[in-house]
Amino acid sequence: MEDLKRVLLVGVGLIGGSVALSIKKEHQVHIVGYDVKLDNCHLAKKLNIIDDCTEDFEEEASNADLIILACPVEKAELLLEKLANLPLKEDVIITDVGSTKAKIMEKAEKYFNNGIPFIGGHPMAGSHKVGPGSARAHLFENAFYVLTPSKNATNGKIDTLKTWLKGTNANFIIMDPKEHDLVTGVVSHFPHIIAASLVRQVENHASQNDHVKYLAAGGFRDITRIASSSPEMWRDIVKHNQPTLLGLLDQWMSEMNDVKQLVEEGDTEELYNYFNGAKKYRDSLPVRAKGAITAFYDLYVDILDKPGVISDITTVLAQENISITNIRIIEAREDVYGVLRISFQTEKDLERAKACLENRGYDTYISM
């Protein structure tokens, strides 16, 4: 046991657990979990995500070769101060997995002026499921993994962290913390705010008209899926990326004023150009690349309303050992082909399911 490198994983949830599993793929290592929710640690140990649990953060941190802060950003900032006052190993590397980087990097530069490298990290993939039970070693495969090194982090230390994280099979990008927060603000944080506001608007109308809620169960529910993400996490992200988000909100309100004017004037050509411009740019985006917002691997299937059809589909998929994460009948399906929507965890499962169902005579569609 003494010969094994030790990793301290603070926060044994979906992201932390997935990082741990990816490390275990490539390294003989002893991973110790620390979590305010002890049940998370016990479950993670039972699932072989970690090798041990600890309630003594200070002692385990002092023995660790790698410390991963996979807890909420505000908690991570508090732990940085604790770590700065501990007798850590000389060659230890400290990293995190938070969605905002500027503030935590500022704290890291303040506390670690003793040569210990802090390398901020943001694996840009996830799931709408939570907890260690949903952790997967392949969660970050082909996803962008942003690293924001502190001044103490040499190229050698950055390479060492990449080696630790080799099993993620992610695409590593080095970014400035402020640039990171701007980019993720534009393509991830801000869209979550808009999705939440759209849902709140529908909620207001639904309180006056019952039909609103039922008709929102189709396409509207799909385009606002990200509003179902953790409210605690998004509360903290908004607080930590406040300046960027305020600027984006100002730009959005200006855009909406322009749209309002378009609607008021009702100019046929201008309205067409607005929607056509949005369509062209949206269609130019990479279809299957993993971006800042978790991709959805959905397959739509045309089915007839007859007994046993859904059972037949799930049996076919089970026989091929294809796991599904969700299945539901779409009632309000404007702009959606197919009656049944089946969700998968990976693109590979999606493509395999499409092939085997089409071989059985089903018509299937992938939404682009």
For the cut 50, the answer to whether the pLDDT of residue 157 exceeds it is: yes
- 347-350 LR contacts (CB < 8 Å, sep 24+): 347/288, 347/295, 347/297, 349/297, 349/322, 349/323, 349/324, 350/297, 350/298, 350/299
Q: What is the pTM of this model?
A: 0.77
Tokens of 346: 């990976």
Type of residue at 169 = N
| Rounded mean pLDDT, 131-151 | 88
From 26-30, 84-88, 302-306, the region with the lowest mean pLDDT:
302-306
Mean pLDDT estimate for the chain: 87
For the cut 70, the answer to whether the pLDDT of residue 294 exceeds it is: no
pLDDT at 155: 93
The β-bridge relationship of strands 66-69 and 340-344 is unpaired
Angle between helices 268-284 and 242-265 (to 10 degrees): 140
- Cα–Cα distance, 27 to 88 (Å, whole number): 22
From 79-88, 184-193, 238-247, 357-366, the region with the lowest mean pLDDT:
357-366
pLDDT grade, residue 243 (50/70/90)?
A: very high
- Cα–Cα distance, 299 to 367 (Å, whole number): 7
Tokens of 126: 């996830």
| Rounded mean pLDDT, 208-237 | 81
Residue pLDDT, tens place only, 37-52:
888 899 999 999 999 9
pLDDT at 1: 46
- 5-175 carries CATH number 3.20.19.10: no
pLDDT grade, residue 287 (50/70/90)?
A: low
For the cut 80, the answer to whether the pLDDT of residue 117 exceeds it is: yes
pLDDT at 293: 58
Domain ranges of the chain: 5-175, 180-284, 297-365
Cα 133 to chain centroid, rounded: 16
| Rounded mean pLDDT, 80-102 | 93
Q: Which residues of 204-219 are buried (b: 16+ CB within 10 A; e: fewer)?
A: eeeeeeeebeebbebb
Q: Which residues of 111-123 are buried (b: 16+ CB within 10 A; e: fewer)?
A: bbeeebbbbbbbb
Residue pair 356/320 in contact by the 8 Å Cβ criterion: yes
| Rounded mean pLDDT, 149-167 | 94
Higher pLDDT, 303 or 98: 98
pLDDT at 291: 55
The dihedral through the CA atoms of 152, 154, 160, 165 has a sign that is: positive
| Rounded mean pLDDT, 20-37 | 94
pLDDT at 135: 85
Residue pair 167/22 in contact by the 8 Å Cβ criterion: yes
Residue pLDDT, tens place only, 160-219:
999 999 999 999 999 999 999 999 999 889 999 999 999 999 999 988 998 888 777 667
From 29-43, 58-72, 145-159, 332-346, the region with the lowest mean pLDDT:
332-346
| Rounded mean pLDDT, 251-263 | 96
pLDDT grade, residue 334 (50/70/90)?
A: very low
pLDDT at 127: 60
Burial class (CB in 10 A: 0-12, 13-18, 19+), 201: exposed
CATH of domain 297-365: 3.30.70.260
pLDDT at 333: 45
Instruction: Please give the share of the chain, as a percent, with pLDDT higher than 70.
Output: 92
Tokens of 31: 């991973």
SS (H, E, C) the chain: CCCCEEEEEECCCHHHHHHHHHHHHHCCEEEEEECCCHHHHHHHHHCCCCCEECCCHHHHHHHCCEEEECCCHHHHHHHHHHHHCCCCCCCCEEEECCCCCHHHHHHHHHHCCCCCCEEEEEECCCCCCCCHHHCCCCCCCCCEEEEEECCCCCHHHHHHHHHHCHHHCCEEEECCHHHHHHHHHHHHHHHHHHHHHHHHHHHHHHCCCHHHHHHCCCHHHHHCHHHHCCHHHHHHHHHHCHHHHHHHHHHHHHHHHHHHHHHHHCCHHHHHHHHHHHHHHHHHCCCCCCCCCCCCEEEEECCCCCCCHHHHHHHHHHHCCCCCCEEEECCCCCCCCCCEEEEECCHHHHHHHHHHHHHCCCCEECCC
For the cut 80, the answer to whether the pLDDT of residue 331 exceeds it is: no
- Cα–Cα distance, 257 to 262 (Å, whole number): 9
Question: What is the fold of 180-284?
Answer: 6-phosphogluconate dehydrogenase C-terminal fold (1.10.3660)
For the cut 50, the answer to whether the pLDDT of residue 228 exceeds it is: yes
